């Protein structure tokens, strides 16, 4: 009498093993996804560099205490002001940055009402409705940022534009913004906006109108 295992029995045992291993993998993946979604726990990091010949990059953990959250909010505000007001001589990049889509930085970082007001400015109209026949470079030079009431900040900056014809007169602006923090965020925001911050109010306090209207 032979002690060898018949091929059907061997195949059955092999399939049982494969099925068991696959089941374990599926369970591990399900548990991992459950812990990741919805993304309600954020871990923020600051990437710091030393701008010298020997470039040194240091990645440090961001402890979510009150002081660090305040630092993050002010950093976010500066990035928002630049995304909204800085202009580079590349119409394709500008249209993408200002578009009402998930690729549009201003759109994703604003509430619908704030973005709607932004879309009424003359420069937004020039870039988004047609390819402009001019090439501007308009940098933002920050001169100060100060908190007022809770989640409300006053940002001061100097603004001017240059092109082949020269440079506009430098003007000083003060913008008052109010931030809204979302309880949950989209998966696509986990890197660019991990705390789910949106600008819910945006008003020009001084500077004679919106910088993008060139008054």
Give the model confidence (pLDDT) of 126-166 as tens digits.
Answer: 888 876 666 789 999 999 999 998 899 999 999 999 988 88
Query: Could you write out the three-class secondary structure of the chain?
Result: CCCCCCHHHHHHHHHHHHHHHHHHHHHHHHHHHHHHCCCCCCCEEEEEEECCCCCEEEEEEECCCHHHHHHHHHHHHHHHHHHHHCECCCHHHHHHHHCCCCCCHHHHCECHHHHHHHCCCHHHHHHHHCCCCCCCEECEEEEEEEECCCCEEEEEEEECCEECCEECCCEEEEEEEEEEECCCCCHHHCCCCCCCEEEEEEEEEECCCCHHHCC
Task: Please name each of the domains of the chain with its CATH number.
Answer: 1-33 (no CATH), 64-213 (3.10.450.230)
**26-35 pLDDT, tens digit each:** 888 887 776 6
Write down the pLDDT at residue 168.
87
pLDDT at 56: 60
Q: Over 60: is that where the pLDDT of 12 sits? A: yes
Residues 6 or more apart from 142 whose CB is under 8 A from it? 78, 81, 155, 156, 157
Res. 49 pLDDT band, cuts 50 70 90: low
Is a pLDDT exceeding 90 seen at residue 20?
Answer: no
């Amino acid at each position: 009498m032979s002690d060898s295992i018949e091929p059907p029995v061997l195949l059955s045992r092999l399939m049982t093993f494969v099925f068991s291993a696959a089941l374990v993998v599926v369970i591990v993946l399900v548990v991992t996804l459950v812990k990741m979604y919805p993304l309600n726990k954020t871990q923020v990091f600051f990437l710091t560099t030393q701008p010298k010949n020997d470039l040194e990059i240091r990645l440090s953990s961001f402890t979510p205490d009150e002081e660090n959250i305040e630092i993050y909010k002010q950093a976010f505000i500066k990035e928002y002001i630049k995304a909204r007001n800085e202009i580079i001589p590349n119409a394709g990049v500008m249209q993408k940055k200002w578009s009402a889509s998930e690729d549009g930085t201003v759109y994703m970082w604003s509430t619908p009402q704030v973005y709607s007001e932004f879309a009424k400015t003359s420069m937004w109209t020039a870039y988004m409705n047609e390819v402009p026949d001019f090439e501007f470079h308009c940098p933002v030079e920050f001169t100060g940022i100060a908190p007022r009431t809770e989640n409300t900040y006053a940002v001061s900056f100097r603004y001017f534009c240059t092109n082949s014809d020269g440079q506009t007169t430098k003007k000083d602006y003060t913008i008052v913004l109010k931030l809204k923090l979302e309880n949950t965020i989209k998966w696509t925001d986990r890197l660019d906006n991990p705390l789910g911050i949106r600008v819910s109010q945006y008003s020009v306090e001084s500077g004679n109108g919106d910088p993008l209207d060139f008054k």
